[in-house]
Amino acid sequence: MEGLFDVQLAVNGKTRTVADDATITRLLEELQINPLRVAVQLNERIIKRELYERTLLQAGDTLEIITFMAGGSS
Amino acid sequence: MRSGTALEYSVSERDDILKFGGREFRSRLIVGTGKFPDHRTMQQAHEASGAEMVTVAVRRVNLDRAQESLLDYIDTERYALLPNTAGCYSAEEAIKTAMLAREVGLSDMVKLEVIGDQRTLFPDNEELLKATKVLVKEGFVVLPYTNDDPIMAKKLEDAGAAVVMPLAAPIGSGLGIRNPHNIRIILEAARVPIIVDAGVGTASDASIAMELGCDGVLMNTAIACAKDPVGMATAMRYAMIAGRLAYLAGRIPKKLYASASSPLEGMIE
């Protein structure tokens, strides 16, 4: 069954609401992000890809999802 | 061996390979991914340049367009990825960025940039050295972007940098090799590859860097912002090969007076 309550997170500087049983994997799915092309930092700590499935998101969490973008120098 | 022109053939015949961080490259040109008119042009320019390594920035995923990915336009089997810490103004920020970049799982190399000033984009060498030491300890293959300063180059090498990347001129300026004498001094003392990063404007600049004995050149704007990026990428490819061959062949010393190329003997009287 889906989570009963929504929790608010900050994802890449923007507020986002997810179900209270949402994991990083679930969040990436919702955002249509390929997990193999990003790195995720949760509250200042880098989370290993193999832990995405098991990492539950909690109210007030701050996430950074980064990837490679076009760029040469500064 | 790739099929190609006589120029490429003679270079590859020498087994002239650039080695660092446990990797080998036949091309000595590293190309950026920024400022291209579009992804398709970038892809074609990369191909035309003959490069085997491209540099990429590390940024937040754009959540409004999360499905779009630069990586759709870079064949990671063909090109090694060199993530950079462009836009970082402290060691702490650069280290954090490098750590995240490695976590993507496509590269343990980092083109380490710690910028000291927005207008010149010159490096903050104090912070750069700090970050280099930390990242080397963390097991990264570190390629720090620095000034054309021989003392700093040495310090970075001693700190464990796999490559030292002195600038030719300010990033994006296209001014060419501003201080070839400093680059030569850096080269004389170096035990790691020296790859010029930033400032190249046109093909002859790349040749000059290679003629000086540099191990490679990294460029972005010169190709991406040329009127014809794919054409310029092709020019750069050959300029790199020409410069490298000239360096290996050994230039003649410069002399003040003429010396005839034809014999004086047998002149018609």
Span A1-5, average pLDDT: 60
Min Cα–Cα distance to chain B from A21, Å: 21
Report d(CA B142, CA B21) in Å as an integer.
9
CATH of domain A6-67: 3.10.20.30
Buried b (16+ CB within 10 A) or exposed e, A11-21: bbeeebebbee
Among chain A, residues having any CB pair with chain B shorter than 8 Å are 11-14, 31-34, 36-41, 46, 48-49, 64-74
B227 is catalytic: no
pLDDT tens for each residue of B67-78:
778 999 999 999
Q: pLDDT-derived band of residue B208, with 50, 70 and 90 as boundaries?
A: very high
Span B76-101, average pLDDT: 96
Contact A72 B221 (CB under 8 A): yes
Span A2-16, average pLDDT: 85
Span A38-57, average pLDDT: 95
Measured CA distances, B42 to B36, B74, B202, B216 (Å): 6, 9, 17, 20
Contact B84 A37 (CB under 8 A): no
Share of chain B above pLDDT 70, in %: 95
Instruction: Count chain A–chain B contacts defined by CB atoms under 8 A.
Output: 124
Of B59, B71, B171, the CB nearest to A73: B171
Which chain B residues are closer than 8 Å to A37 by Cβ? 69, 71, 104
Structure tokens at B217: 């050149």
Span B150-177, average pLDDT: 95
Strand B80-84 vs strand B53-60: parallel, antiparallel, or unpaired?
Answer: parallel
Contact B105 A36 (CB under 8 A): yes
Each domain of chain A, given as residue ranges in start order, spans 6-67
pLDDT for B2: 47
Contact B59 A71 (CB under 8 A): yes
ipTM for the complex? 0.90
Q: Could you count the other beta carbons within 10 Å of the beta carbon of residue B94?
A: 29
Span B167-175, average pLDDT: 90
Which chain A residues are closer than 8 Å to B219 by Cβ? 72
Q: pLDDT-derived band of residue B6, with 50, 70 and 90 as boundaries?
A: low
Determine which of B19-28, B35-44, B85-94, B255-264 has the lowest per-residue pLDDT on average. B255-264
pLDDT tens for each residue of B217-246:
999 999 999 999 999 999 999 999 999 999
Which chain A residues are closer than 8 Å to B42 by Cβ? 70
Report d(CA A16, CA A55) in Å as an integer.
17
Q: Across all residues in chain B, what is the average pLDDT?
A: 92
Measured CA distances, B24 to B1, B19, B98, B156 (Å): 14, 5, 22, 21
Contact A73 B32 (CB under 8 A): yes
Among residues B111, B130, B133, B155, which one is catalytic? B111
Share of chain A above pLDDT 70, in %: 93
